[in-house]
Amino acid sequence: MMLRTVKPYVFIALGIILLGAACVAAAEPNAASTKPDPFKMNKLLGRGVNIGNALEAPTEGAWGVVIKEEYFDIIKQAGFNSIRLPVCWSGHALTEKPYTINPEFFKRVDTIVNWAISRNMPIIVNIQQYVETYDAPLAHKERFVALWRQIAEHYKDYPDILLFEPMNEPKRKLTPQIWNDYVKEFLAVIRESNPNRTVVVGSARDSWITYLKLLELPENDRNIVVTVHHYFPHAFTHQSTPWMTQEKVTRTVEDMKFIGQDLNSNGINDYNAWPGTKWMGTAEEKKAMTDIFDIGAAWGKEHNRPINLGEFGSYYKADMESRARWTKFIADTAAERGMSLMYWEFCAQEFGLYDRDAKSWRKPLLEAIIPPKQ
Residue 260 phi/psi, 5° resolution?
A: 90, 20
Alpha helices for the chain (secondary structure H): 8-33, 38-45, 69-78, 103-117, 132-135, 137-154, 176-193, 234-237, 246-258, 283-303, 320-336, 363-369
Task: Output the tens digit of pLDDT for each of the chain's 374 residues.
Answer: 333 333 433 333 434 333 444 333 333 333 334 689 999 999 999 999 999 999 999 999 999 999 999 999 999 999 999 999 999 999 999 999 999 999 999 999 999 999 999 999 999 999 999 999 999 999 999 999 999 999 999 999 999 999 999 999 999 999 999 999 999 999 999 999 999 999 999 999 999 998 999 999 999 999 999 999 999 998 999 999 999 887 778 777 776 666 555 544 455 678 888 999 999 999 999 999 999 999 999 999 999 999 999 999 999 999 999 999 999 999 999 999 999 999 999 999 999 999 999 999 999 999 999 999 87
Report pTM: 0.89
Contact 341, 309 (CB under 8 A): yes
Q: How many CA atoms lie within 13 A of 307 on its CB side?
A: 30
Q: Please state, in angstroms and rounded to a whole number, the distance separating the CA atoms of residues 20 and 30.
A: 15
- The CATH architecture that domain 42-369 belongs to is Alpha-Beta Barrel (3.20)
CA angle 112, 227, 104 (to 5 degrees): 25
> Buried (b) or exposed (e) across 150-178, using 16+ Cβ within 10 A?
bbbeebeebebbbbbbbbbbbbeebeeeb
Q: Please state, in angstroms and rounded to a whole number, the distance separating the CA atoms of residues 224 and 148.
A: 16
The SS3 of residue 15 is: helix
Q: Which secondary-structure segment (H or E) carries 225? A: strand 224-230
Closest CA to 92 of 139, 150, 43: 150
